[in-house]
Amino acid sequence: MANEGQRQYFANAMRTKRWPTREPFTALAIAPLLEVAKLRPGVAVLDIGCGGGQATKAVASVVGSTGRVVGADISEAMLELAGSRLEPTDNNISFVLADAQTDAIPGAPFDAIVSQFGLMFFEDPVAAFTNLRAHLKAGGALTGAVWQGMEKNLSFMAHRLSARGFQREMPKQGPVPQGPFAFAHQDYVNGLLVAAGFSQPKWVLHTAVRPCALEDLVTVQMLLDAGIDQDRVEEAYAIAVDELGAVTGNDGVVQCPLEIQIFTCVAP
């Protein structure tokens, strides 16, 4: 089965339980994503990698009762979280368990596809984007929020330290880079999208700042969960605290910068 590594990663109970503490960071992409997507009331939208459904709900409020939105995700645990947040008035929203790379998602054709940090995890991104394009009406747009480089995103402190050699070698998953920073390079993403039949994407950069506590960004347990060895975890933690010092005020609040980028491209 495709994308088995990512399916297990996002099904992991520890990760999904912790996901609501992560959403205040990802949700900062909702406003700029919607600004670029320019959705209108009455349209049908597919939200890929919808996770806990916060962006899906924001889309639903834009498209209104004459429109509809389908949130699709590969993780049952994430969809349970999304479903638990539905209110009786949310009758223009549905959630579907699907692998966006391989599956036909019910409700097609859509006027638009959006994704908030849900596109960087495909084993075969060209196959995935080709599949997504087939879910769009002619002229429909795919708009995705992805992260800029890891070096700019302090909120991924555990990833940053792992990448600096603080962990045993992790098994590679799939033939291409997968993970939060897989789409940091615009030229790489443009190539994938054009190969899948989309128009050349346009990009917008967006910086957000999330005030938060140090322990929202790094704890010893988070570093251990990220694969950092027990015997080096204190050293890694000290480096993380030092790096975050540059954006920590006298009040102890970390003003965490989030460097996001949003692309949009059209299906012919």
Ligand X SMILES: C[S@@+](CC[C@H](N)C(=O)[O-])C[C@H]1O[C@@H](n2cnc3c(N)ncnc32)[C@H](O)[C@@H]1O
Cβ-based burial of 179 (10 A; exposed 0-12, middle 13-18, buried ≥19): middle
User: What x-and-dash track marks residues 46-75 binding ligand X by CB under 6 A?
Assistant: --xxxxx-xx----------------xxxx
Q: Is residue 100 a contact residue for ligand X (CB under 6 A)? A: yes
Nearest one of 25, 249, 53 to 157, comparing CA atoms: 25
Q: How far is the C-alpha of 114 from the C-alpha of 49, rounded, in Å?
A: 9
**Min separation Cβ 129 and ligand X, Å:** 12
Span 241-260, contacts to ligand X by CB under 6 A: none
Q: Is residue 263 a contact residue for ligand X (CB under 6 A)? A: no
Strands in 254-266's sheet, in edge-to-edge order, are: 93-97, 68-73, 44-48, 110-116, 136-147, 254-266, 202-212
Cβ-based burial of 199 (10 A; exposed 0-12, middle 13-18, buried ≥19): middle
Nearest one of 57, 46, 62 to 82, comparing CA atoms: 57
Q: How far is the C-alpha of 66 from the C-alpha of 71, rounded, in Å?
A: 17
Q: How far is the C-alpha of 136 from the C-alpha of 127, rounded, in Å?
A: 15
Closest CB to ligand X among 147 and 198? 147
Q: Is residue 146 a contact residue for ligand X (CB under 6 A)? A: no
Applying CB under 6 A, among 68, 93, 116, 129 the residue interacting with ligand X is 116
**Min separation Cβ 51 and ligand X, Å:** 2
For residue 255, the SS3 value is strand
Closest CB to ligand X among 104 and 238? 104
Span 13-52, contacts to ligand X by CB under 6 A: 23, 26, 48-52
Per rule CB under 6 A, count of chain residues that contact ligand X: 25
Applying CB under 6 A, among 59, 92, 110, 118 the residue interacting with ligand X is 118
Q: Which part of the chain contacts ligand X (CB under 6 A), choosing from 38-46, 111-119, 136-144, 235-243?
A: 111-119
Binding site for ligand X (CB under 6 A): 3, 6, 10, 23, 26, 48-52, 54-55, 72-75, 78, 99-101, 116-118, 121-122
